Amino acid sequence: MTEVLTNTPEDSSIEHRRPAPIRAEDYTPLGPDSLTWQIWGTWTGMFQGLWAGSMQNMHPKLGAAVWEHSDFFGERWQRLMRSLYPISGVVFDPVPDSGPTTGEEVRDYHRDVKGEMEDGSRYHALDPDVFYWAHATFWYGNVRLCERFGPWLSEDQKRQLFEESKAWYAMYGVSMRPVPDTYEDFLEYWDYMCRNELRDHPAVRTVLDISKLPPPPFLSFIPEWFWFRFMAEQNQRFFTWMTTGFYDEPVREILGLPWSETDERRFRLLGRGVNLVMHRLLPKRFLRHPRPRDAWDRVHGRVADDAPLVHTPARNLPPEAERDNPMHYCPVHAARRATYPGRISSD
């Protein structure tokens, strides 16, 4: 695994000392015996999709990178749906005997994402502190979702998820310097970021504004005229409220989003309902996103170990003119188009 280093200074914004540096080579890929495999990679993650996207973009450098480079805002449903495949594949894909891992491919999508901030400082998507913040929202999103919507986790399980998040992060082949040593250290890091580093940004507000989006793919049978006339505004209000429920209080204050005791009671009631339906009544395989489901099918013999990976349906690909640009998370960008190995998901 090739480690990518950037020209950022080695001192972090948070004072932290550890007896020995965390090294990517000390970690092996996660497998079906891990807690991450058990609870991550289901469609329930969509409940905190706006939380994850907005939290990422509240990092000033990450927000600037998305605002200036990504076409996310022009094709939001498609970008989201196709991004889920490689992002979840970092955890669930088999590790090849040769060639890049899925994590290294995701890393390389970001090589050319760089520019200049308004204050004249530079940013790069592979700045270790920036890249780790994005990862933190992914893995800690597991914990936040379980805390609010189940399945409920013990403190030891949260610590286990943190330790597994190191193995997950090691798959990218980037600097491990920003990774906190313990779960308790991570909570200090997270609180520090929420209170001191995160900022409001146009990219954050654009993520949170879904009022102009057409119906999501699973509601595509609803005519757009009906959606925008009768449903879009209510959908916006509900998801803004639900996303506010996932935020830490300092983030609510930054964004000016009120949260009362009544809101909290209603949110807890919603969480219990989601837990009952999603985790007790519906079969787990039905809940899994196609890429994690494919991984579990390999484990249980439904799919051959050497079967090609599942890829996003063609409807989720970026515009034809952009398919040579890897930063759009396109699985058929120029380097791989000739041998596009994969089965097409129907989801």
pLDDT attached to residue 338: 39
pLDDT reported for residue 98: 72
pLDDT of residue 344: 60
Query: Out of 181-190, 221-230, 303-312, 329-338, which region has the weakest mean confidence (pLDDT)?
Result: 329-338
Higher pLDDT, 175 or 15: 175
Q: Is the pLDDT of residue 337 over 60?
A: no
Angstrom distances, CA of residue 111 to CA of 89, 93, 98, 176, 320: 19, 22, 21, 17, 21
The reported pLDDT for the residue numbered 244 is 98
Whole-number pLDDT of residue 347: 64
**pLDDT over 80 (residue 163):** yes
Q: Residue 336: pLDDT above 50? A: no
Instruction: Please check the confidence at residue 314 and state whether its pLDDT lies above 90.
Output: no
Residues of 93-128 as b/e, b for ≥16 C-beta within 10 angstroms?
bbeeeeeebbbbbbbbbbeebbeeeeeeeebbbbbb
Q: Is the pLDDT of residue 2 over 50?
A: no
What whole-number distance in Å separates Cα of residue 126 and Cα of residue 107?
8
pLDDT digits (tens, 9 = 90+) for 94-140: 998 877 899 999 999 899 999 999 889 999 999 999 999 999 999 99
pLDDT at 331 over 70: no
Residue 335 pLDDT > 60, yes or no? no
Which of 292, 245, 311, 318 lies closest to 77 in space, CA to CA?
A: 318
Residue 156: burial class (beta carbons within 10 Å; 0-12, 13-18, 19+) = exposed
Average confidence (pLDDT) over 147-174 = 97
310: part of which helix (H) or strand (E)?
A: strand 310-311
Query: Lowest-confidence range among 67-71, 110-114, 307-311?
Result: 67-71
Q: What is the CA radius of gyration of the chain?
A: 20
Determine the angle formed by the axes of helices 290-299 and 76-92, rounding to 10 degrees. 20
Binning pLDDT at 50, 70 and 90, where does residue 202 land? Answer: very high
**Over residues 82-94, mean pLDDT:** 94
pTM of the predicted protein model:
0.88
Token pair belonging to 27: 């970690």
Give every CB contact of residue 228 below 8 A, 6+ residues apart in sequence. Answer: none
What is the percent of the chain where pLDDT is above 70?
87
Rounded to whole angstroms, how far apart are CA atoms 130 and 135? Answer: 9
Q: Which 3-state string (H, E, C) describes 184-250?
A: HHHHHHHHHHHHHHCCCCHHHHHHHCCCCCCCCHHHCCCCHHHHHHHHHHHHHHHHHHHHHHHCCHH
Among 44-48, 107-111, 200-204, 279-283, where is mean pLDDT lowest? 279-283
Whether the pLDDT of residue 333 is over 50: the answer is: no
* Burial annotation 241-260 (CB, 10 A radius, 16+ → b, else e): bbbbbbbbeebbebbebeee
Q: Is the pLDDT higher at 256 or at 338?
A: 256
What number of other Cβ atoms are within 10 A of residue 310's Cβ?
Answer: 24
Task: State the residue for tokens 């990504």.
Answer: 70
Query: Is residue 157 predicted with pLDDT exceeding 90?
Result: yes
Q: Which two tokens stand for residue 288?
A: 């899994």
Q: What is the largest CA-CA distance in the chain?
A: 61
Q: Which two tokens stand for residue 252?
A: 């609510």
pLDDT band at 325 (very low <50, low <70, confident <90, very high): confident
Instruction: Calculate mean pLDDT across residues 140-164.
Output: 97
d(CA 76, CA 83): 10
In this model, does residue 10 exceed pLDDT 60? no
Q: What is the pLDDT of residue 19?
A: 53
- Alpha helix segments (H runs only) across the chain: 35-39, 49-57, 60-69, 76-92, 102-108, 128-149, 155-170, 183-192, 202-208, 224-226, 232-246, 249-255, 261-276, 284-287, 290-299
**Running DSSP on this structure, what letter comes out for residue 152?**
-
Residue 320: how many other CB atoms lie within 10 Å = 7
Strand partners, 115: 123
